[in-house]
Structure 1
């Protein structure tokens, strides 16, 4: 397929509020050696977009430093980690067999070539992302999803939210028959956690606001815990023997006060800090009960391959809350920050 010379993209030239997002006409990137060029059909929004734009990640030794996902941002930067689209062209050394195929991009930048390498960078922060009509990506991270029953909008919701969720579940060792507690259950990662934990055969307790109970229960939660009430009391009532794994994107007071909710040998997996990033807890509740607190950042290649297999089989059904044209990226990010929706917001370039 032929590609134009220029395209529309939404970029940031500095950290700040939604006003720093600008729509620009820029050259279509050329795929380098080992890369593919993907025409973007849908790009989902994530909290990482907000925090990268704000520079809110901090750095080791300097938590207040303005920073992208893993370090200084090279401006101008096109945002957007989550992309579904169609392969438009390939770079030198790449088989053109996927040209024209419907695909999803693994947005992680890994620290090694192996299947269990750690993500140390992210498309949309450490390299240009999918808030654009075209984007390049390493060929081995472009996954053929032509046969998936999911729509392009749904496929675009998978990489960060579902990738992060599956990484948490895998690192927490959640098994069939165990009890999982999911925080932030109405958000993108939270709903993914509910769906994936239920698909694994776990009993799922989900923490959410009372106005979103029906949506969270529809995603597969066995019990919905009202976050406005005493969370600990509700969890102890519904899981009197404790929970095996907490899948937590909130942290803050929930982690500080909640360790006693774990069973002996339980695992508390943290992949976000919506409730606060500074936490103090009674360390005796950790070592006396052989509990583990596990940090989880996105996914590995193995996790992402497993996620793509689930999506090809239609084993997950992402919820799309709303779609926006590319030019409305700032308004979409403002809506994301309000957190009044259930599911994912998607741009359609």
Structure 2
């Protein structure tokens, strides 16, 4: 499905564009709408993409507030990669768009393709990166009318879904798919998912069910029905005593997006030989671990950030197959990004909040 008509693609690419720039660490006032940003030009191996829709996620807010810094907000480790953050920066890791121009060594046949951008980057400006970047953190992202990315990270998508629906997938679903891939989730597993009503959590429910495994989801009671509709086999409240409810040594895999004070219970309910995968700590980053439990139960821990090479292609194929569905909670115009992030942080929604760019 092409989301822009050919006549739109053939229009001259402007010199300037509108985008949202993060100008410093702090509150929403650090997000500045600028309609005089130069349109980037694709370098060797890159493509220029007209952004159609871009999703909001935790990483945008964590970066803005310097949550990644382990010392103070002005330290040299406040970026996603642990390096100094460069301002101004266009954020936005979840992008659906259409290729409108290509750089050297990229086929002109790519112009007109509707694409999803892989948010974990291994190439920029025609060069392999020494360590991966996160799109919208170490380089400009999708909260703008145009963006550039290495051609290999612009994945063609053939789907009848809308641009907004497709923009709900890249970050959350690739994060979830990566966690399941690293933890080797299979059809015989029972999988416990924390933070299950958020973007990654709701994605994980669908992706686990697509593998044929059993899902136990943790969320607030008001969202039980929605998670059961997504495929969860059992839903527990956030304050549940997991050992009392499920029993010790009762699940094969924990997909954790919360951490916090409940964390020791997650380890207690894992079966011997169980696998724990984590990619978030919205409940609190500092937890208490009895190392004896770790080694006596032969547990495997997986910190999941960098995507395995096959993850994004597998995700795109799963989207195209119709085995998973988008969950869009709300949409906002790009200029209303501060309101969108406020709604996101209130955590009353299930699924994704998406910004429309055109």
The partner residue of 2:311 within 303, 308, 312 is 303
Aligned-pair CA distance for 1:166: 0.5
CA separation in 1, counterparts of 2:181 and 2:347?
27
Matched, 1:284 2:292: yes
Residue 277 of structure 1, CA deviation: 1.0
| Structure 1 residue 118 displacement after superposition | 9.7
Give the drift of 1:155: 1.3
Candidates 94, 102, 106, aligned match of 2:114: 102
Aligned length in residues: 339
> Is 2:58 the partner of 1:50?
no
SS of 2:286 mapped into structure 1: coil
Q: Deviations over 1:116-167 (max 9, x none)?
A: x99732111110010001100100111111x213221121121110010001
Q: CA deviation at 1:312?
A: 1.3
Tell me: CA distance 1:210–1:136, structure 2 relative to 1, closer, same or farther (3 Å): same
State yes or no: 1:225 paired with 2:236: yes
- Distance in 2, Cα, partners of 1:29 & 1:189: 30
- Structure 1 residues 235 and 151, CA gap change in structure 2 (3 angstroms): farther
Q: Which residue of 2 aligns with 1:186?
A: 197
In structure 1, the partner of 2:301 is 293
The alignment status of 1:215 with 2:211, answered yes or no, reads: no
Cα pair 1:162 1:307 within 8 Å, conserved? yes
Name structure 1 gaps, 5 residues minimum. none
* Residue of structure 1 in register with 2:7 after alignment: none
> What whole-Å deviation, never above 9, does each CA across 1:19-60 have from its counterpart, x for those lacking one?
11010021111111110000011100100000111111025x
Of 9, 13, 17, which residue of structure 1 is paired with 2:19? Answer: 9
TM-score (norm 2): 0.91
- Shift, 1:8, TM fit: 0.5
1: distance between equivalents of 2:240 and 2:275? 24
**Distance in 1 of aligned mates of 2:123 and 2:261:** 32
**Unaligned stretches of 5+ in structure 2?**
1-9
Is 1:143 the counterpart of 2:155? The answer is yes
Alignment partners' CA distance in 2, 1:203 and 1:188: 19
Aligned mates of 2:270, 2:222 — CA distance in 1: 27
* Separation of aligned partners in 1, 2:54 and 2:199: 14
How far 1:267 moved relative to its partner? 0.6
Instruction: Give the Å deviation of 1:233.
Output: 2.1
Alignment of 1:64-79 (within 5 A): 65=75, 67-70=78-81, 71-79=83-91
- Residue 68 of structure 1 and its aligned partner are, at CA, apart by 1.8
CA–CA separation in structure 2 for the residues paired with 1:4 and 1:118: 33
- Contact 1:108–1:119 (8 Å) recurs in 2: no
* Per-residue CA distance 1:180-201 (angstroms, 9 max, x = gap): 0000000000000100001111
Give the Å deviation of 1:234. 2.2
What CA deviation, in whole Å up to 9, does each residue of 1:35-90 have, x standing for no partner? 0000011100100000111111025xx47646121122211100101100111100
